[in-house]
Amino acid sequence: MFQRQDEVACQTLVKKRGTPTAPWARYHHAVIADLGAAIVLAGKGGAAPIANQAAYERHFAPARRAQSEVCRNMRAATNACWWKNQMDRALQSLRHTLSSRMMNDPLVLTDRRALARNRARAKAGGAELFLHATAVAEIKERLTEVNRQFRAPLIVTAFPDIWRDVALGARIIGDEDVLDVSPGGFDLVIHGMAMHWANDPVGQLIQCQRALQPDGLFLAAFPGGRTLHELRASLAEAESILMGGLSPRVLPMGEIRELGALLMRAGFALPVADSLLVNASYRDLFHLAQDLRSMGETNALSARLRHFARRTLFAEAARQMTSAFPAEDGRVKTTYELMFLTGWAPHPSQQKPLKPGSAISRLADALGATDGLSSPPKLS
């Protein structure tokens, strides 16, 4: 509209675009902006012919609008190009980081630095270790049922004070990913309330099995199964209501059948896995969280959120827990399930199961019982 008919029109193909607000929007618009900038700069003189022709025909206002439109397009194109370069660098760095982790790093479940910080805070504030006390009493009782005197015991735990009296003269080490043990150096290995934080539980079991002498005993105690299922359900319900999704807050818990299979996979003979339920009640969710903090069992998952959660989230979770899991006197109930693993280092003197079909007498005959098939039924 600014030129005569005998002149070739100059066109600017960049549409009017504001500066995108999100980096990804800037990235997607970058290609269009690059093309538009090139056309504006090389389009038969750019804005100059348009402005001059408009001034010649006394259309000053359209000329100013045309000039400002070109300038805005140029600024948008420049900003988009800058954001495109920034996104390209960020994506290249992210691809390099992910590829190196996939090639070199194993799956990491636990943030060991956060776990050590949680445990140190619990010890400094006077640790509340009633679950450890229950596990210690159970392990002591099981050791009294073994007709053997252990002379070289080993205890793997993060809280040595409460586990020190389980086996006299025991060497106590921490539950690191690589245990500080020598092969065949112990006749008893006790893994005390730490297996649930292991990044590689099978690796822990294998290291304990190798540390045992032939016919040595392995015992482990740790939370699993239905432990804190009330807390997990309440947090999941609250997060789904307020945030539309879930985040990792409670450890995944091993089941009895899975744990027995892990013992066999680690090479233990005569494997046994069993559990003990411990019921507790608290004033509310916040009282439970304080108890977990005193035990050093707060969230140390590698995939946890690294920012503070909403205050309303825990208020809603407390409400859900109070309504779904009430106990007496307005309190809330909580379940702890302690898992116990027992296994022996292989030795030729150990009992071995017979092959199927090798029995020479029936169990009913040995018990003096009748199975109802000794005589044919009478027909009336």
Expressed as residue numbers, the domain containing 64 is 23-104
Give the pLDDT score at 371: 59
- Domain boundary residue, one of 70, 104, 138: 104
Place 25 in a pLDDT band, splitting at 50, 70 and 90.
very low
Q: Is 194 domain-assigned?
A: yes
Q: Is 146 domain-assigned?
A: yes
Q: Is 375 domain-assigned?
A: no
The reply to whether 100 and 244 lie within a common domain is no
The reply to whether 312 and 193 lie within a common domain is yes
Give the pLDDT score at 380: 47
The reply to whether 51 and 171 lie within a common domain is no
Tally of structural domains, the chain: 2
Q: Is 369 domain-assigned?
A: no
Q: Is 372 domain-assigned?
A: no
- Domain boundary residue, one of 69, 104, 139: 104
Q: How many Å apart are CA 189 and CA 208, to the nearest integer?
A: 7
The reply to whether 97 and 143 lie within a common domain is no
Which tens digits make up the pLDDT trace of 313-325? 999 999 999 999 9
Q: Is the pLDDT of residue 121 over 90?
A: yes
> Which stretches within 159-220 are classed as H helix?
160-163, 201-211
Give the pLDDT score at 52: 55
SS3 at position 191: strand
SS3 at position 187: strand
Residue 213: closest CA among 350, 352, 346: 346
Give the pLDDT score at 15: 42
Interhelix angle 229-242/311-324, nearest 10 degrees: 130
The reply to whether 190 and 78 lie within a common domain is no
CATH number, domain of 277, equals: 3.40.50.150
pLDDT mean across residues, the chain:
80
The reply to whether 155 and 274 lie within a common domain is yes
Q: Is 380 domain-assigned?
A: no
Q: Please compute the mean of the pLDDT values over residues 302-321 and round it to a whole number.
A: 90
Name the strands in the sheet holding 269-282, side by side, starting at the edge strand that comes first in the sequence: 171-173, 153-156, 186-192, 212-223, 332-344, 269-282
Q: Is 365 domain-assigned?
A: no
Residue 296: closest CA among 152, 179, 127, 167: 127
